[in-house]
Amino acid sequence: MRELMTATAEHFTLVRDDRAEYSIEVDPREASADTIARCCANSASID
């Protein structure tokens, strides 16, 4: 997750506060709750 957000930030200007919304889709079979909690997104769709 960190690598994904780092790579994204290299190509886009990301706002690191409550003004922006970043979302990800999460496969709970592939990501632990700890990983999800530490990522930079502030919403997630768990399918």
Task: Please list the ranges in the chain whose pLDDT falls under 70.
Answer: 1, 39-47
Instruction: Region of 12 please: left (phi>0), alpha (psi -120 to 50) or beta.
Output: beta
Average pLDDT, the chain: 75
Extract the tokens encoding 5.
């957000």
Domain locations along the chain: 2-46
What pTM, to 2 d.p., does this model score?
0.42
For residue 43, the model assigns a pLDDT of 63
Q: Dihedral sign, CA of 39, 36, 26, 17?
A: negative
- Three-class secondary structure of residue 27 per DSSP: coil
For residue 42, the model assigns a pLDDT of 61
